[in-house]
Copies of this chain bind each other. A is one copy, B any other.
Amino acid sequence: MSNTTGKIFTTTSFGTSHGKAIGAIVDGCPANLELSEEDIQKELNKRKPGTSKITSPRKESDKIELLSGVFNGKTDGTPICGVVYNNNQRSKDYESIKNTPRPGHGDYGWRTKYGNYNYNGGGRGSGRVTIGHVIGGAIAKKLLKDTYGIKVISHVVQIGDILAHSTDIDKIEKEVELNPVRCGDQEAAKAMEELILSKKAKGDSVGGIVETIATNVPAGIGEPVFGKLDGDIAQSLMNIGAVKGVEVGFGFDVARASASEINDEFYYEDGKVYTKTNSSGGILGGISNGMPIITRIAVKPTPSISIDQETIDYEKKENCIINIKGRHDPCICPRITTVSESSIAMVLADHMIRSGFIHPNNIEKTMNK
């Protein structure tokens, strides 16, 4: 019932995994942003399944169609509606779960709440609905890049026990394209891929951690005390299915630290303000400080596994066993990177407008463009 996110730059999402279509309306994008279907398609392509052995084999073209909001190749300030038609549904896979909620999935909550639950493919609870997020995110990313050169990049930093050792943002950006895990450390990527395939072989799945970095965000966005930048980012990331934890900067490591170890000291260089370290992850007191914004999410192992699990049968009112069929990802981290980028890009675009950096109606009036 709450399918709109953002305050000024808003995305309203619709659609289910096995319905006719999935899409989104982006409202509040200022006019005169160059925008084509290709700008969105390339982001959808990063999210779509069937591209490697470690993703679901479901084949979907995920082709974007823009129904409105662009005139003469540029946004015109009116709502932008993007639609992706579904075409590779296999609903019969899901008949068996009609009356038996899958452990680790939202089936039970959806049915309890609404009574009429489209269980096919997990309905609106499916990861496939993040197509809407990516439509919003692709437009947000274009807006951020064209006005302030802001980049938002996600990479996988952990799968199971395997950690990536990647630190240089430019290197990460290139390296993630070179392996199916979307990891910035090629060696770790190889080990991660093997781990994922070994889990897949057992009908099981594995979790991981995805880091997202946003560069060139100016100091001064975020609105305390209830619209802080980190609060809005945490919400948008936790709203992604499978995410069970969100960190900014040093994250949970702050629990073991002293202030003398992690306070970021300020200094001037060429008249500009920097901090010597960035354990705050670019956000202090809910407002950006001009340093890169760094977040991490904990992604749980895909709950759909072909191992017997106990559950209940609504009709028979008794306990039973479920063994899930369908085409699932043994690890969702590689595909979630695009969703994480999109989620953060939508928040940043909204706040860049709300804080007066990007003109709300027409980017040609944006100062310092």
Contacts and interface: CB of A to CB of B under 8 A. Distances in A.
5 contacts: A1-B361, A14-B78, A76-B124, A107-B285, A245-B245
B262 A104 contact: yes
A356 B32 CA distance: 15
Chain B CB count within 10 A is highest, among A19, A22, A83, A284, for: A284
A148 B219 CA distance: 27
Q: Interface SS of chain A: helix, strand, loop or mixed?
A: mixed
B245 A116 contact: no
Contacts of A285: 105-107, 109-110, 125, 241
A187 interface: no
Interface string A9-28: 01111111001111101011
A255 B244 CA distance: 9
Contacts of A364: 115
B20 A68 contact: yes
Contact of A225 (B80, B132, B231, B248): B132
Contacts of A1: 8, 27-28, 77, 223, 227, 354, 360-361
Contacts of A158: 255
B110 A287 contact: yes
Nearest to A20: B67
**10 residue pairs, one from A and one from B, having the closest CB atoms:** A106-B285, A2-B227, A109-B287, A235-B235, A77-B114, A234-B238, A231-B239, A104-B263, A31-B114, A2-B223
A257 interface: yes
A226 B5 contact: yes
A271 B246 CA distance: 36
A173 B245 CA distance: 25
Interface in A295-321: 298-305, 307, 309-312, 317-319
Chain B CB count within 10 A is highest, among A115, A220, A307, for: A115
Given A112-B220, A238-B234, A256-B160, A101 B310 contact: no
Interface residues of A, number: 157
A123 B255 contact: no
Interface string A96-123: 0000010111111110111111100001
B31 A115 contact: yes
Interface in A225-263: 225-228, 230-239, 241, 244-260, 262-263
A94 interface: no
A276 interface: yes
Given A199-B258, A247-B252, 11 more contacts: A1-B361, A14-B80, A15-B67, A108-B284, A112-B287, A125-B224, A160-B256, A244-B254, A251-B298, A254-B301, A263-B305
A83 B66 CA distance: 12
Contacts of A288: 109
B109 A19 contact: no
Interface in A314-342: 317-319
